[in-house]
Structure 1
Amino acid sequence: MKSLLTEDGYQDITSRIEKLSENSKKGWGKMTVGQMAWHCQYPLQLAITNKPNSSKGNWFVRTFFKKSLYNEKPWRKNLPTSSLMKTADEKDFKKEIAKLKMLIDDFYAVRTRDKWYPHPAFGVFTPEQWGQLEYKHLDHHLKQFGV
């Protein structure tokens, strides 16, 4: 599984993002390309800020869903998403894609840090799992828009 914490994964994602445009057409789902760029920012911000939390995650989610976040099997289309990552507002593509690129760079820059705090919903991840999760999420949405 590719990881956003490796040079190969980072280069793959950043080069594919460069292929997006305001006119990129979605293959599934309800989001516009600007909304997708906004949507992809939250998980990166969560990992980058690396704030301590007391959460060990939801047992059901950890048991039945967590491994699918970072394994080789692609996510199915139209999966439900957290309300924190949904918007009905139109988003400016150029502004949101610039923020997304910056966050991807920031995430890659912290790849060697020593301490990674648990995800508030999914609990503890190794650095490798964090990188695979972030790669897989971005890959899923880039495929959604044909890149």
Structure 2
Amino acid sequence: MKNIFNQLYSEEILNRIDNLNPNSTPQWGKMNVAQMLAHCSSFQDIAMGNSLPPRGLLGILVGNFAKTVFYNDKPFTKNMSTIPTILIDDDKEFETEKERLKQKIIAFQLNGPENCTTHPHPFFGKLTPEQWGKGIYKHLDHHLKQFGA
């Protein structure tokens, strides 16, 4: 499984983000491209420990049993539910969100696994830095595929 902490894979993701444009349309889902970038940026904040959403009851009950879904090789399903605090439904500016996400990916990769959050994922619970690195790559890959990048 690819890991965002590997510079080769973070560069791949950054290049794919650069292939997006304000008119990129989703193949599934409700978000437009700027909202998707903002969503991914908000998820980066969780992995970096800049945002600490609480665990929901469902996550507490079943998240630990399902956590391999976050970092295994099997792609996420389309229209999978998301963490309520990072559901983006307001208007966003494409270029601003694009640059914000790219800077967060670069910082996350450069800071390395040792600076990854130790706060539990809001659904899956406690994750190792390696699991976060794989999950971040998988999450970004999922949304880039959503927009054909």
Q: What TM-score results when the alignment is normalised by the length of structure 2? A: 0.88
Distance 1:52 1:17, change over 3 A: closer
Q: Which residue of 2 aligns with 1:110?
A: 111
Distance 1:115 1:30 in 2: 30
Aligned CA-pair RMSD:
2.1
How many residue pairs get aligned? The number is 145
Pairwise CA distance, 1:52: 8.6
Pairwise CA distance, 1:36: 0.1
Distance 1:78 1:54 in 2: 22
Equivalent runs, 1:1-147 vs 2, <5 Å: 1-49=1-49, 58-63=60-65, 65-113=66-114, 116-121=117-122, 122-147=124-149
Q: Which runs of 5+ in 1 are unaligned?
A: none
SS, match of residue 76 in structure 1? coil
Pairwise CA distance, 1:116: 4.1
Distance 1:54 1:85, change over 3 A: closer
Q: What TM-score results when the alignment is normalised by the length of structure 1? A: 0.89
Whose helix fraction is larger, Structure 1's or Structure 2's? 2
Pairwise CA distance, 1:142: 0.1
Pairwise CA distance, 1:22: 0.3
Distance 2:100 2:23 in 1: 18
Q: Is the 8 A contact 2:76 2:142 kept in 1?
A: yes
Q: Is the 8 A contact 2:5 2:133 kept in 1?
A: yes
Q: Is the 8 A contact 1:24 1:145 kept in 2?
A: yes
Pairwise CA distance, 1:25: 1.3
Give the partner amino acid of 1:75.
F
Pairwise CA distance, 1:41: 1.0
Give the partner amino acid of 2:136.
E
The runs of at least 4 aligned residues of structure 1 exceeding 6 Å deviation read: 50-55
Pairwise CA distance, 1:88: 2.0
